[in-house]
Amino acid sequence: MIVIPQELLPADGRFGSGPAKVRAEALEYLSMRSDLLGTSHRQAPVKQLVGAVQEGLAELYRLPDGHEVVLGNGGASLFWDMAVASLIERRSSHAVFGEFTRKFATAAGKAPFLEPPLVTESAPGTVVLPTPGDADVVAWAHNETSTGAAASVRRIGEGLVLVDGTSAAGGMDVEITETDVYYFAPQKNFSSDGGLFIALVSPAALERAGRLTRGDRWTPEMLNLDVAAANSRKQQTLNTPALATLLLLEDQINWLIELGGLAAAEARCRRSTDHVHAWAGQRDWATPFVAEPAHRSPVVATVDLADEIDATRVIATLRANGIVDVDPYRALGRNQLRIGCYVSVDPEDVKALTACIDHVVERL
């Protein structure tokens, strides 16, 4: 068993790509507001909390007029099904460059009332954008958390633009006018617990959802974006939300605004990921997985290790020393480390982490 010397260890050993580090200050805020837990989400105090989250996100994202902050239970995965039920009219077009982008394409492919989706695929570690074709929805992810590759966000074609911002949101800046729905779950840069979806929705997407869900198509209530939007306008959710998640989210939004907003958040994340990529470049046993520097995520760094170094042993040794969750995405099946460099993670801790990895690899 390799014991990493205390002075090398990071102050906080959480480097997961999701769920990810929750700041201690956010937990203090949660306990300060604990009188809210166990109270009705139909009453003013919880509605005010939902309203504060909506207003904070509107400020952080410089939300254009007419766009709405819609939220509900179920996380990003729920939102894929909601989009299938409430937003895709006839056919969607997806860019698939990792497992999360694939999941949405797969969900759309299973819907019996839709034509098979167009899928434009590229190898893990690279980036591709959707082919618009005749699709009425185009979809991709701002950051492919499974590979550490980040895409640009800009309008493509005539369809609604749906961007999965789950691991990007709060750590990468974005121009919301380039999207119709920018959606995410809050357990990554937003340093909350999981369970919720948040969607920044354009007037065009709200109109589409209203039209489709009031038409002939059967729409389960939980997958009805029109219903979710109606509840959100009343600072409510269709069913009981996780209040602790909302409180952690509120605290993180305020912290991000104090930090200087999304551009400042992205710069802080880049300090960490730039360090990891430079560090890997200087080791003959490590290589940044995303070959094209412009496609490297500012929030999730993936590093392939040479065959003679077993990543699972490195990961297990780190875990035994209190450094957790640097595992690669399972389905990717690579000899790799994946390091969540979200905004709550101190860039100094990322430097400490790479020093710890050096220490472990030298001794394995």
Ligand X SMILES: *Cc1c(COP(=O)(O)O)cnc(C)c1O
* Binding map of ligand X across residues 315-354, x = CB under 6 A, - = no contact: ----------------------------------------
Give yes or no for a contact between 189 and 170, defined as CB atoms under 8 angstroms apart: yes
Interior angle at CA 180, CA 120 and CA 116, nearest 5: 35
Report the side by side order of strands in the sheet with 92-96: 68-73, 196-201, 181-184, 160-164, 137-141, 92-96, 118-121
Residues 6 or more apart from 143 whose CB is under 8 A from it? 149, 150, 151, 165, 166, 167, 168, 172, 297, 299, 300
Contact with ligand X (CB under 6 A) among 57, 84, 163, 185: 185
Q: Which residues of the chain form beta strands (DSSP E)?
A: 68-73, 92-96, 118-121, 137-141, 143-144, 149-150, 160-164, 181-184, 196-201, 286-288, 300-305, 336-340
- What are φ and ψ of residue 320, in 5° steps? -65, -20
Does 148 interact with ligand X (rule: CB under 6 A)? no
Query: In whole angstroms, how close is the CB of 65 to ligand X at the nearest point?
Result: 27
Token pair belonging to 52: 């504060």
CA distance 89 to 45: 38
Contact with ligand X (CB under 6 A) among 120, 145, 192, 252: 145
Query: In whole angstroms, how close is the CB of 164 to ligand X at the nearest point?
Result: 5
* Window of 45-53, 163-171, 235-243, 337-345 that interacts with ligand X by CB under 6 A: 163-171
Does 237 interact with ligand X (rule: CB under 6 A)? no
Does 140 interact with ligand X (rule: CB under 6 A)? no
Query: In whole angstroms, how close is the CB of 249 to ligand X at the nearest point?
Result: 13
Residues in contact with ligand X, counted by CB under 6 A, come to a total of 12
Does 189 interact with ligand X (rule: CB under 6 A)? no
Interior angle at CA 315, CA 312 and CA 320, nearest 5: 125
* Window of 21-29, 54-62, 164-172, 271-279 that interacts with ligand X by CB under 6 A: 164-172
Token pair belonging to 49: 């909390």
Does 193 interact with ligand X (rule: CB under 6 A)? no
Nearest to 296 by CA among 311, 275, 310, 314: 275
Nearer to ligand X, 279 or 289 (CB): 289
Token pair belonging to 329: 């995405």
Nearer to ligand X, 167 or 237 (CB): 167
* Binding map of ligand X across residues 71-90, x = CB under 6 A, - = no contact: ----xxx-------------
Does 167 interact with ligand X (rule: CB under 6 A)? yes
Nearer to ligand X, 2 or 222 (CB): 222
Does 141 interact with ligand X (rule: CB under 6 A)? yes
Give the residue at shortest CB distance from ligand X.
75
Residues forming the site for ligand X (CB under 6 A):
18, 75-77, 100, 141, 145, 164, 166-167, 185, 194
